[in-house]
Amino acid sequence: MTSTPGPGTRTLDVGVGDATLASADMVLNIGPQHPATHGVLRLRVVLDGERVVSADPIVGYMHRGAEKLFEVRDYRQITMLANRHDWLSAFGNELGVVLGVEAMLGMEVPERATWARTLLAELNRVLNHLMFLGSYPLELGAITPIFYSFREREDIQAVMEEISGGRMHFMFNRVGGLKEDLPAGWLDRVAQAVADVRARMPQLEALIVGNEILEARTKGVGPLSHDLACAYGVSGPIARASGVDVDLRRDDPYLAYGELFGEAGPGRVVTRTAGDSLARLEVLLEQTHVSLDLADACVERMRSLEPGPVNQRLPKVLKVPEGDRYTATENPLGFNGYHLVSRGEKTPWRLKLRSASFGNVQVLSQVLPGCLVSDLVAVLGSMFFVVGDVDK
């Protein structure tokens, strides 16, 4: 952290005759190398004593120009680029690209691939949420939860690595379906991993739920109103913690979510109304259980499907018809959208990425003013963002 005198100068009466003391606001730079900013995010905050007067998130330190790189890669290669901006949600990142291309091609994906994609997306969501359930208490001073969350992550990572060969960048989606069929017995191992994680989750929850110190650090801290969340395009668990009852899996279904979030399905949207740091953590925790239920439902449905292909045969040179399309999916951190513009060539003419973390981080300029310096890290960590997802 570095600090410099700020522009605002106040004259204070120190109560000794006519003596006065000139006091200037302090400008405090948190980051871009501070460990609590999840990477190279910089916060420029103006302080009046211990209270935040204004806050300006400064982004771009990790910007790699992904959207321009899309324009010089063909439709098989851009999946690799799209995979990486949110490194905790790699499978979800891939989905938006392949779904958009398939829609523009008018391509129908085999049913087994649709259900397998849904299963893998929910397993990836569990991995994402477990990371934040462990790292957020760590930022507040509690080291133990992260050991429990990483233990649960390892079980899910094992089945994801088995099917894709990757631990972070799965690269298992292809235009037309999936890279290859599921390994023999893989569904049984997924079911066991989900059951093990569900059985041990109470141990992690016991460290978080009802913890007096955690509640004191988060309850009523950094409230985000419903209207402000909508105005800034906040989405995902952050928005739902403020009462924004929106989830694309239910409201604009894709893959197999129409059935899973139907009347007979286990899918449900988790919301809170407080909008504070504690509410955001509660939504994330409950959503983890929902995703485990959805994964179980996908496994059972896949067991009942007849053997068949998991992809479509593609031409050697894949060209997308001229036109444009915006495809949005519900990533673990919120809306992930790709606006694809094609001129009928083998590379996109334009591919614009709408990442979840970007909108979620921008609202910090409205949430942090009024907070104490001691609450900065608590609010920042509760926004559950990935810097690569902000900068692209």
What pLDDT was estimated at residue 38? 67
What pLDDT was estimated at residue 300? 95
**3-state SS string over the chain?**
CEEEEEEEEEEEECCCCCCEEEEEEEEEEECCCCHHHCCCCEEEEEEECCEEEEEEEECCCCCCCHHHHHCCCCCCCHHHHHCCCCCCCHHHHHHHHHHHHHHHHCCCCCHHHHHHHHHHHHHHHHHHHHHHHHHHHHHCCCCHHHHHHHHHHHHHHHHHHHHHCCCCCCCCEECCEECCCCCCCHHHHHHHHHHHHHHHHHHHHHHHCCCHHHHHHHCCCCCCCHHHHHHCCCCHHHHHCCCCCCCHHHHCCCCCHHHHCCCCCCCCCCCCCCCCHHHHHHHHHHHHHHHHHHHHHHHHHHHHCCCCCCCCCCCCCCCCCCEEEEEEEEECCEEEEEEEEECCCCCCCEEEEECHHHHHHHCHHHHCCCCEHHHHHHHHHHCCCCHHHHHC
**Cα pseudo-dihedral 232, 245, 261, 294, rounded to 10:** 70
What pLDDT was estimated at residue 28? 85
Single pTM value for the model: 0.90
What pLDDT was estimated at residue 12? 45
Fold designation for 80-354:
Cytochrome-c3 Hydrogenase; chain B (1.10.645)
Handedness of CA 277, 330, 127, 194 (dihedral sign): positive
Q: What is the mean pLDDT of each run of 10 residues along the chain (392 residues)?
A: 53 51 76 70 89 90 88 90 89 94 94 96 96 92 93 95 89 92 94 96 93 92 94 94 95 95 91 94 96 96 92 91 95 95 94 91 93 90 89 84
The predicted-structure confidence for 112-124, as pLDDT tens digits, reads as follows: 999 999 999 999 9
